[in-house]
Amino acid sequence: MNRYERIPPIRRARGYRLYADGGLRYLDMWLQDGRAIGGHAPQRVRRAFENTLARGQAGALPGRWKRRLERALASMTGCTGPWELFTSAEAVHMVLDRSFGRAGWCVVDPVDPVGPDDLCAGEAGVPASIELFRPLLSTPDSSRSGALLVPVPVMIGSGLYALLLPGASSGATAIHSGVPGMGQPPSEPLLSAAVRAVYDVIDAQGRRPAREAELRPVYRAFDDSSLWHRAGPYVKPLLPDAAYDALFTRFLDAKVVLSPRTGGVSFVPQELSPGERAGIVRLVQDTERSS
């Protein structure tokens, strides 16, 4: 059984908690590879989606929300676009393959403990580094000149991705549709929820100093462990497959869900009770001692 299948069927998800059969509650640190960093079903995001849906805008008809999302992305990243939107990671990869060649690009994640040159060093002649924007870690920067990929922090359907390519023509946000493998255009309800989610992340960025003080013991536990690399609220395991399997199982037994992928990035929820903070610290320290 793979790790994903070990996670019990979830009946309900709210905030950073998952609820399974038998009244079991899990703390979610996977958060869908960070795409749910605002939590599951946040009220304002859900309301934006439902209000747009109630107006009958259920399809992918042209509307006003793609322009608003472009402005929200500019506020979060510092980059004005033009942005291209995709409803699947596979569609993003196809566009990058077409733009740079199948072996002509690599994604640079600021969570990785090595620098961009090291990340791409294994692929001789790679000309294009695609910067991955991590909310609550990456900072707005209007001077960016390279490509930028933003997993939009909204968990509806298969998600939403925004891509900024250098040298792209100015104008309206491009939405790929009708091209095999490019994915379907995002609906107006999804776009409206994405706008709200992006502005909520911007608001959360402003509250980070207060959160940092509360989360300092948790961050210190990860920093002191040889099993993890931390960058902001993101944590990445430094373990081979078998060792990570044991760590994943230990956290799951303690009702904490990590990324099911070896080397996958997990996220320290920004709203934790004192008991949850203490529990994570104990888990990290116990796994360090037993490694």
Walk me through the domains of the chain, giving residue ranges and CATH numbers. 3-30+207-290 (3.90.1150.10), 44-204 (3.40.640.10)
> What is the pLDDT at residue 211?
84
> What is the pLDDT at residue 54?
92
> What is the pLDDT at residue 56?
85
Residue type, 160: L
Q: Write down the pTM of the prediction.
A: 0.89
> What is the pLDDT at residue 181?
47
Q: 219 with 230: CB under 8 angstroms?
A: yes
Q: How far apart are CA 107 and CA 113, in angstroms?
A: 14
> What is the pLDDT at residue 13?
94
The dihedral formed by the CA atoms of 206, 211, 212 and 214, expressed in degrees to the nearest 10: 160
Q: 91 with 176: CB under 8 angstroms?
A: yes
> What is the pLDDT at residue 164?
93
10-residue stretch averages of pLDDT, the chain, 291 residues long: 92 95 95 89 92 84 90 94 88 87 86 64 61 92 87 85 75 45 76 96 86 93 98 96 97 98 95 96 96 83
